[in-house]
Amino acid sequence: MQPETRLDWEILEAEADEWAEVTMAPAPPVRRAVRWQGASVALGVVALLVALAGMCGYRLWRDAEAGIAATERHIGSLVQIETMRQQPPTATRGHSTQVDDVVVKGTTAMARIVMTETSPFGQSLSHVEARFYERCPAGWRRTEPVAAFWGNPAELDTPTLHFDFYELDRPFVEASAEPIDAYHIALRRILGLRPLAATERITVTIEARHVAAGATLPSGALVESSPYFYHAPPGHQDPPLHVDAGSPLLNRLQGRLLVRSMQECDAVHGIRAVGKPLVSYLQQWLREHAAALPALANGEPLPDENRFVNPAQALAILTGEYVIWAHFPEDMERRSDVFVFSAHAFVDFLVADRGPDAIPALLAAFATQDTWPAVIDEAFGMTMDELLAEWNAYVQRLDGEGTAID
């Protein structure tokens, strides 16, 4: 007979929240360990991917560096070949070239080349020029300028000028804009031309190609080649504003604005025949004093030119009373120099003695009078003898000794 099994039941009385606390079992600890293990694996995978990406990036960088080095070597070889082909066999001057920098875009490259020429006396002259190349099945070959290197189009306005250019040329444009505008304003004032309105700005277009000197667009815009095509001296971090032989970009724009302003001056004033010779010399005088024009227009004195002349003889040459060709019948160059010197000395005297407003007064008189005495009376309210006496006094002040020049 089996023993009797007895179960004793006890019913506990508890609130609902207490009952839930008693009956809820804690989460198995194994699941948390699994989650941490999964996170560790994920972090390891990410770290591995980062390492692989770094290795790939380093590999690509090394490949790119090697590619650039190979490109520089190939272009350097081409430059040497070009130099040998361009140099005549009988040349007495030595030429050498060196690749200074190469920028590659896709299948094209822009190289800056340092060109050095050595004279028979051992003097070395160097400049930097830009050349362009494109990839071909055989390697690289010389090509025309590639516009892609210049970047996006850009614009810049000054009170009298509007510049259209590309981002590569921004340093050149920004460096030139203010001084060329100041020159332009002063030039127009000295020639007696009215100020330009904002809607009358002259457009200057800087293009990413070789442009013929003096080129203009149908709209009348002045067109210039990118300064990257100009020969620049080496040793500068940024290309300076140089054209061949060190003439700055600013001078190119000054020269073009001078020609345009003189044409406008002739159209506005209607210069008569008696004044045309002096006006042509005036253009040369303005080019010679380009750097000083803004200061002159603002009332600063003219720098001492030390042109000691005989005023009576110079005035006779300018007015046609002194027949210069009778003294130099066969020396046309010397005859021209005498005319130029006399004209420049006369303009020096007028500006130094009467200020820059003397020039537009003289131009206005040349537009209405047909003889020199009438011009001087109209412009300055004096006779030729009075003008000559004033000029002599000016020359004596320059001489510094108070001795009249006969």
278: tokens are 């002096």
Instruction: Read off the pLDDT of each residue in 53-79 and give the average, rounded to a whole number.
Output: 61
Q: How many CB atoms lie within 10 A of CB 45?
A: 10
Q: Could you give the CA distance from residue 163 to residue 161 in angstroms, rounded to a whole number?
A: 7
pLDDT digits over 118-166, tens only? Answer: 777 777 777 778 889 888 887 888 889 999 999 999 999 999 999 999 9
Specify the 3-state DSSP secondary structure of 165: strand
By the 8 A CB rule, do 77 and 97 touch?
Answer: no
Q: Would you give the DSSP letter of residue 111? A: E
Per-position b or e across 328-364, b if 16+ CB within 10 A of its CB: eeeeeeebeebbeebbbbbbbbbbbebebebbbbbbb
Q: Could you give the CA distance from residue 118 to residue 93 in angstroms, rounded to a whole number?
A: 6
Q: Could you give the CA distance from residue 50 to residue 54 in angstroms, rounded to a whole number?
A: 6
Q: What is the mean pLDDT of the chain?
A: 79
Alpha-carbon distances, residue 242 vs 172, 226, 328 (angstroms): 10, 11, 39
- Measured at the CA of 80, the angle between CA 75 and CA 81, to 5 degrees, comes to 95
Is the pLDDT assigned to residue 245 strictly greater than 60? no
Question: Residue 325: pLDDT band by 50, 70, 90 thresholds?
Answer: very low
Question: Residue 246: pLDDT band by 50, 70, 90 thresholds?
Answer: very low
By the 8 A CB rule, do 362 and 276 touch?
Answer: no
By the 8 A CB rule, do 292 and 252 touch?
Answer: no
Q: Could you give the CA distance from residue 292 to residue 284 in angstroms, rounded to a whole number?
A: 14
62 exposed, middle or buried (CB, 10 Å; 0-12, 13-18, 19+)? exposed
Instruction: Read off the pLDDT of each residue in 347-364 and give the average, rounded to a whole number.
Output: 93
At 405 the pLDDT is 43
Q: How many CB atoms lie within 10 A of CB 184?
A: 24
Q: Could you give the CA distance from residue 383 to residue 239 in angstroms, rounded to a whole number?
A: 54
DSSP characters over 279-308: HHHHHHHHHHTGGGHHHHHTTPPPPP----
Instruction: Read off the pLDDT of each residue in 272-283 and give the average, rounded to a whole number.
Output: 92
Instruction: Read off the pLDDT of each residue in 170-187 and give the average, rounded to a whole number.
Output: 93
29 vs 188, residue with greater confidence: 188
Write out the H or E segment, with its range, that includes residue 198.
none
At 298 the pLDDT is 87
306 exposed, middle or buried (CB, 10 Å; 0-12, 13-18, 19+)? exposed
Alpha-carbon distances, residue 361 vs 186, 269, 279, 377 (angstroms): 16, 11, 13, 11
118 vs 310, residue with greater confidence: 310
Is the pLDDT assigned to residue 181 strictly greater than 90? yes
Q: Could you give the CA distance from residue 203 to residue 160 in angstroms, rounded to a whole number?
A: 9
Is the pLDDT assigned to residue 318 strictly greater than 60? yes
- Phi–psi pair at 202, nearest 5 degrees: -85, 130
At 118 the pLDDT is 78
Q: Could you give the CA distance from residue 160 to residue 201 in angstroms, rounded to a whole number?
A: 5
Q: Would you give the DSSP letter of residue 28? A: P
At 36 the pLDDT is 61
What are the residues facing 403 on neighbouring strands? Answer: none
Q: Could you give the CA distance from residue 91 to residue 95 in angstroms, rounded to a whole number?
A: 9
Instruction: Read off the pLDDT of each residue in 355-371 and give the average, rounded to a whole number.
Output: 94
Q: Could you give the CA distance from residue 122 to residue 330 in angstroms, rounded to a whole number?
A: 39
DSSP characters over 84-105: HHHS-TT--SEEEEEEEEEEEE
Q: How many CB atoms lie within 10 A of CB 160?
A: 21
Please give the order of strands across the beta sheet that includes 202-207.
Answer: 153-157, 161-166, 202-207, 222-225
